[in-house]
Structure 1
Amino acid sequence: MSLFASQLPLSGVRVLDLSRVFAGPWCGMVLGDFGAEVVKIEHPVRGDDTRDWSIRIGQTESAYYNSVNRNKRSVTVDLQTPEGQQIVRDLAQHCDVVLHNFKFGGLDKLGLGFEDIRKVKSDIIYCSISGYDRTGKEAKRPGYDLVVQGEAGLMALNGEATQAPLKFGMAVVDMFTGMYSAQAILAALFERQNTKQGRHIEMALFDCGLMITSYCGLEAMVMNEDPPRYGNAHPSIVPYGVFETADGPVVITVGNNAQFHRFCKEVIDREDLANDARFTTNLDRRTHRDILVPEILKELKARPRQMLLQKLTAAGIPCGEVLGLLEALNSDRVKAGGLVTQQSHPVAGSTPVLSSPYRFDGERMPVRLPPPVLGEGTEDILKEWLDLPSERIRELKTKGVI
């Protein structure tokens, strides 16, 4: 059955997204991609901070904002007002999930903490995203991706050995935290089917950032020292990384000894390297990388990239071009996969929006809703969910509550 002819996996699930910037909105977007009805609560005047970041689109959106807010509705509420706080509590009664990344204790002061919401919705799945362990001494510290990249050792993994510690090109801590949070919410929703009970999920940027260190983190503990940095090369596999050719960089991943022999004989015409005892196994090649890699670079720089890619492919060695970001987004691969969509926009006419990466039964999860203009769903949601009359909505607008 076609995905579009059937219900999406989270159809019928309602999410109240009180988060802003990246980690929380990413989590809400994942749930929206799976079909949940996600209502994003924003300040009536400024909205989410990221509406003012990056490249402007229309009057109230930006490329940054749009990257984490597809498949949502926008409802504007001033949470500093008693009426606004009551609106959120009322909306929560109609939801399955409440998501936020306020500072520790911030929503409790507004009467919107877990215990407050649980009083009006006993089986709520309430997800709190903070910077640090909410049970520890740093609970009140604000969390920022860049700071955590430094504190969790991620910067120490990145870049060349001769460089200072280097941040990742993307806000990876925020992104992974959003993903981990969505996974936890899905687990809690699944559990609730049997227990009929809610959960308070507590996620921390630092915890998730540390998890990203993965095998590098474990290696550091086993060696009792920081692992060396290799830039675009692999710390354990040789040759494996980005290499310059006569006319541009190429990615070459020689993953085993058989591939190395084919690489030497069929790609760079250096059978002597394949037969050299110093390079017989990957452990040997890792030990003698300073001798081997210069020889490989010499051969690659003498050959054009396309010819090398053809030979590498014929030899069964994984490889690829190193493209610019715009070039990658405009590639035939992206177009064929439907990974970028054009969404209608009331001011800009249309705007590009990335698709969901998820495929179910051969079909990609749809972009059902473009990233919302600030407050586009306020009246509809308040009428449909809370049955507020138009006169009351006008009164709340006049007072600046919505």
Structure 2
Amino acid sequence: MTTLQFDRFEAELPPHVPRPAGAPTALEGIRVVDFTHFIAGPFATTIMAEMGADVIKVETPGRGDEFRHYPPVHPEMPAQGAPHMWTNRNKRSVALNLKTPEGLAVVRELIAGADVVVENFSTGVMARFGLDYESCRKINPKLVYCSVSAYGREGEFADRLGFDPIAQAESGFISMNGYGDRQGVRTLSPVVDISTAMMACNAILGALIARGRTGEGQAIEVALFDNAVLMTGYASMQHLFSGVDPQRHGNTSPDTCPSGVFQSKDKPFYINCGNDKIFHRLVEQVLERPDLADDPVLSDRNGRISRRDELFKLLEEAFAQQPWSHWQPRMRAASIPCGEVRTVGEALRSKEARARGLLTRIPHPVVGWMPNIAMPFRFSGTPVVDPVAAPSVGQHTDEVLGEVLGYDATRLAALRATGALSATPPRKAHMPAEPAAA
């Protein structure tokens, strides 16, 4: 997509409903200094920001996080592509030149008053700046310091760079996915990056709870490769039991049957009969074939797996007789786990997404409003913060340094003169009024 026209989606995106006035947040009072880029690091801090942490994203003046430039980029918002907007919501951006002594001094002041530091630079970068954990703990012993890397910060592979698809390949994850008559495939969604971010966030929250008991901070390491191995799921333990590598089964499951994609008269859909009872309900209540439930072989999971081809052929012929609108309510009534195979666009516009309130539009200082996709958690007592669009590079430099460190205009001007900050102050963002309901 080279041109972006949000207006065509406006009627489909209701305005965000503000959180209850005065409600507390789960991470109220927690400050995070965020040195992350791309996905695994930034998404971890975005989760924390959603829960109310003050996340200060430290970026290089000018270009900022390289992920800002991944397409599509709105023509009126340079350095704010859609992927970056997705993974940096509710943060404040401070643009500092860490190659200047003055810039480093400012960062150290921020760290001295922070609760958490998160970084995912290549191994050795933070140490070269004197911002590694041992250096930072000297100025802030209570600091929780999280490093996200490809293969860990120590050992013979610490120097290796890594991205999501490389971790998918080397962990065995790719070998499990796809069809048996061709090479395995990666997932287009960066599932290893996303799950690594979740693990990092979990670890940080655990360290903060521990600090509440001990009064001490600690260092945390989360490696992309380690997490990718975890993402192979219970297949890893199956291999350790049997010595057999998982095989590619396309959309079917090697452990349950029937499980896979079937075609109705008009649409494909997925069913997953995870136990014998579900299968019995499927053939008795949906297909009206009680004889299949009474079959001494098909009534048992292992028997169905041994006769998978025969059973699939029978189901395919039956499902092809009627449209999805016929099968879906019958399966729902019979409690059969099933779902239409949708495109991303169809999923975003689905009744389920609407019922869960996943998509809204939120104010944006440049283009008026921005689409927003909610996080998948809900808190009854500490609701998540109202979403704020990801910032431009250095948008909050003056605000943060003034509010957090007490710098006045003279001090900020002096820092600019040294090259520690952008040559010109960031333009103050003007937030438009909340768009009217569709």
3-state DSSP class of the match of 1:278? coil
Q: TM-score, normalised by structure 1?
A: 0.96
Q: Percent identity?
A: 36
Is 1:263 matched with 2:282?
yes
Looking at structure 1, the residues matched to 53 and 387 of structure 2 have their Cα atoms a distance apart, in angstroms, of 11
| Pairwise CA distance, 1:275 | 2.6
1:110-142 deviation digits (Å, cap 9, x = unpaired): 111111111111110000111103232101111
Divergent runs of 4+, >4 A: none
Aligned pair partner of 1:5 in 14, 18, 22: 22
Which amino acid in 2 is paired with 1:191? Answer: A
Looking at structure 1, the residues matched to 357 and 85 of structure 2 have their Cα atoms a distance apart, in angstroms, of 17
Looking at structure 2, the residues matched to 345 and 337 of structure 1 have their Cα atoms a distance apart, in angstroms, of 23
Is 1:193 matched with 2:217?
no
Which amino acid in 2 is paired with 1:351? Answer: M
Deviates more, 1:167-176 or 1:335-344: 335-344
User: Counterparts in 2 of 1:39-118, with a 5 A limit?
Assistant: 39-57=56-74, 58-118=77-137
Which amino acid in 2 is paired with 1:401? Answer: A
Is 1:38 matched with 2:55?
yes
User: Counterparts in 2 of 1:341-356, with a 5 A limit?
Assistant: 341-356=360-375
2:37 equivalent in structure 1: 20
Which amino acid in 2 is paired with 1:317? Answer: I
Tell me, yes or no, if the aligned pair for 2:44 and 2:200 is still in contact at 8 Å.
Answer: yes
1:52-86 deviation digits (Å, cap 9, x = unpaired): 00211322311100111111111111122222111
Which amino acid in 2 is paired with 1:206? Answer: F
| Pairwise CA distance, 1:256 | 2.2
| Pairwise CA distance, 1:349 | 1.6
Looking at structure 2, the residues matched to 204 and 377 of structure 1 have their Cα atoms a distance apart, in angstroms, of 30
3-state DSSP class of the match of 1:112? coil
Aligned pair partner of 1:317 in 308, 314, 336: 336
Tell me, yes or no, if the aligned pair for 1:358 and 1:364 is still in contact at 8 Å.
Answer: no
3-state DSSP class of the match of 2:188? coil
| Pairwise CA distance, 1:335 | 2.5
1:155 equivalent in structure 2: 174
3-state DSSP class of the match of 2:146? strand
| Pairwise CA distance, 1:398 | 4.2
Which amino acid in 1 is paired with 2:22? Answer: A
Q: How many residues align?
A: 401
3-state DSSP class of the match of 1:359? coil
Tell me, yes or no, if the aligned pair for 1:357 and 1:365 is still in contact at 8 Å.
Answer: no
Tell me, yes or no, if the aligned pair for 2:51 and 2:383 is still in contact at 8 Å.
Answer: no
Looking at structure 2, the residues matched to 362 and 157 of structure 1 have their Cα atoms a distance apart, in angstroms, of 41
3-state DSSP class of the match of 1:24? helix
1:240-288 deviation digits (Å, cap 9, x = unpaired): 2221111011121222222212211332233332232221211111122
Looking at structure 1, the residues matched to 277 and 293 of structure 2 have their Cα atoms a distance apart, in angstroms, of 10
Looking at structure 2, the residues matched to 261 and 333 of structure 1 have their Cα atoms a distance apart, in angstroms, of 27
Which amino acid in 1 is paired with 2:240? Answer: M
Looking at structure 1, the residues matched to 385 and 30 of structure 2 have their Cα atoms a distance apart, in angstroms, of 17
| Pairwise CA distance, 1:205 | 0.6
Looking at structure 1, the residues matched to 186 and 419 of structure 2 have their Cα atoms a distance apart, in angstroms, of 41
Q: Which 5+ residue runs of structure 1 have no aligned equivalent?
A: none
Q: Which 5+ residue runs of structure 2 have no aligned equivalent?
A: 1-18, 422-438
Aligned pair partner of 1:370 in 380, 389, 393: 389
Is 1:306 matched with 2:325?
yes
Greater relative contact order (CA < 8 Å, ≥ 6 in sequence)? 2
Q: Check 1:82–1:28 CA distance in 2 against 1; reply closer, same or farther (3 A cut).
A: same
1:329 equivalent in structure 2: 348
| Pairwise CA distance, 1:399 | 4.0
Is 1:145 matched with 2:164?
yes
CA RMSD of aligned residues (A): 1.6
1:382 equivalent in structure 2: 401
Looking at structure 2, the residues matched to 214 and 187 of structure 1 have their Cα atoms a distance apart, in angstroms, of 23
